């Protein structure tokens, strides 16, 4: 059983959902001794714990080292989240769509006219990177190191260097936080009409001290990139693996928003996030004591057949708006509308230019919490 949940195994992301199926069916509450964490994998259990913030808290988990909204609870979380939400509302995102569409077209225009096209680094990563840098105002001279740190922290290429020791990850997180502080300091001195300038000078956020400012900057620093990058890459793979669904989408482009929800359900960009228990709980007949760390495995829950019949089938017309890919409740992803808007622009252009593409070279990242590609190419004439 230990090999089933060895998240450091280079083959962990191969047959991942079969591994989750075994956990759901045979060990719905499983103690991963290697990480000292309890994995919760059934939909109803995960959703219930996401709603129970009084028992399953965000503080003091494996993700708490980096200041962010995902490591806060209570009134402080509510106030900081409330301050930033207007910038990421559906209305605010709609005003950015013309610039986003132009950026997507520009990135596709730059692709070479050849049988096999590298998409991951040329378009999929570049889209959210440039969008956040140009439209949200992250200082351009600091952006390259920001992108590099984000890549390292999300996961490792199995053909690259092996994952480093935990102290290496902590050093990278320290460097990311230092970079965010430098970006905010730069924007205070050179303010513009953008999100990072507002953040560097917001009285509402300043009331929470420098840590409050850094908390929101870090949220954008990672979540605004990796969630969208993984959504775009994973969806590209799904449309190639399920050509009949792609054909349906080509015939009825109005199905695209629903298709994106199905991409999120079946290949959740964030597979799981931790919580710390402040009280004993009983789940599926298993007592987990207070103080233990649990992993709410969104991706396993999204494949629970008790919730979604034939969960391994990619069905762009599935009724699935209650999937957990963005979490649920008070901590649901702040940037969800941004990710969806970028996905609509990207997939519209991808299918217009490469309606019958097939996958070329592709492989999964090594990551214990994310699902995304380390390499992704397509072939098919534009």
pLDDT reading at 200 higher than 50: yes
Task: Put the strands of the sheet holding 293-296 in their side by side order.
Answer: 29-32, 37-40, 293-296, 273-277, 56-57
Give one DSSP letter per residue of 152-215, joined into a string.
Answer: HHH-B-TTSPPP--HHHHHHHHHHHHHHHHHHHHHHHHS--SSHHHHHHH-HHHHTTHHHHHHH
CA torsion angle 41 42 45 49 (round to 10): 40
Angstrom distance (rounded) from CA 372 to CA 229 = 8
If you ran DSSP here, which 8-state letter would residue 2 be given? G
51-76 pLDDT, tens digit each: 998 899 887 887 766 667 676 677 77
Nearest Cα neighbor of 241 from 261, 266, 258 is: 266
Predicted TM-score (pTM) of this structure: 0.92
Half-sphere exposure of 337 (CA within 13 A, CB side): 14
Report all structural domains of the chain as residue ranges with CATH numbers, in order of start: 2-379 (1.10.630.10)
- Three-class secondary structure of residue 236 per DSSP: helix
How far CA 305 is from CA of 30, 42, 328, 331, in Å, comes to: 19, 9, 19, 25
Average pLDDT, the chain: 88
| Of the candidates 159, 153, 205, 214, the residue with the CA atom closest to the CA atom of residue 182 | 214
pLDDT tens digits for range 308-324: 999 999 999 999 989 99
For residue 205, is pLDDT > 90?
no
pLDDT for position 1? 42
Strand partners, 288: 281
15: left (phi over 0), alpha (psi -120 to 50) or beta: left
pLDDT for res 47 = 96
């Amino acid at each position: 059983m230990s090999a089933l949940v060895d998240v450091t195994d280079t083959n962990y992301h191969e047959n991942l959902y079969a591994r989750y199926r075994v956990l759901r069916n045979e060990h719905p509450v499983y103690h991963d001794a290697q990480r000292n964490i309890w994995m919760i994998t059934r939909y109803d259990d995960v959703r219930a714990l996401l709603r129970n913030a009084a028992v399953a808290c965000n503080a003091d988990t494996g993700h708490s080292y980096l200041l962010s909204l995902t490591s806060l609870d209570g009134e402080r979380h509510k106030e900081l989240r409330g301050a930033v939400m207007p910038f990421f509302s559906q209305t605010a995102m709609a005003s950015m769509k013309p610039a986003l569409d132009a950026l997507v077209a520009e990135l596709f225009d730059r692709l070479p006219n050849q049988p096999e096209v590298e998409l991951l680094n040329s378009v999929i990563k570049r889209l959210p990177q440039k969008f956040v840098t140009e439209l949200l105002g992250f200082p351009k001279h600091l952006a390259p190191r920001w992108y590099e740190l984000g890549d390292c922290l999300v996961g490792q290429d199995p053909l690259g260097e092996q994952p480093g020791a935990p102290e290496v990850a902590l050093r990278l997180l320290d460097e990311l936080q230092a970079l965010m502080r430098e970006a905010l300091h730069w924007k205070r001195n050179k303010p513009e009409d953008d999100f990072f300038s507002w953040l560097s000078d917001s009285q509402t956020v300043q009331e929470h001290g420098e840590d409050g400012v850094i908390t929101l900057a870090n949220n954008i620093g990672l979540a605004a990139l990796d969630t969208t990058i993984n959504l775009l890459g994973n969806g590209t793979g799904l449309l190639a693996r399920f050509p009949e669904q792609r054909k349906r989408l080509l015939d009825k482009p109005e199905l695209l928003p629903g298709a994106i929800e199905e991409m999120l359900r079946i290949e959740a960009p964030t597979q799981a996030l931790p919580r710390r228990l402040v009280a004993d709980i009983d789940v599926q007949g298993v007592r987990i004591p207070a103080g233990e760390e649990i992993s709410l495995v969104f991706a396993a829950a999204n494949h629970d057949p008790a919730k979604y019949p034939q969960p391994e089938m990619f069905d762009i017309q599935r009724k699935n708006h209650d999937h957990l890919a963005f979490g649920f409740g008070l901590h649901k992803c702040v940037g969800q509308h941004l990710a969806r808007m970028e996905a609509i622009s990207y997939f519209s252009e991808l299918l217009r230019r490469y309606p019958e593409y097939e996958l070329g070279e592709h492989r999964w990242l090594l990551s214990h919490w994310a699902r995304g590609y380390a390499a992704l190419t397509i072939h098919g004439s534009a």
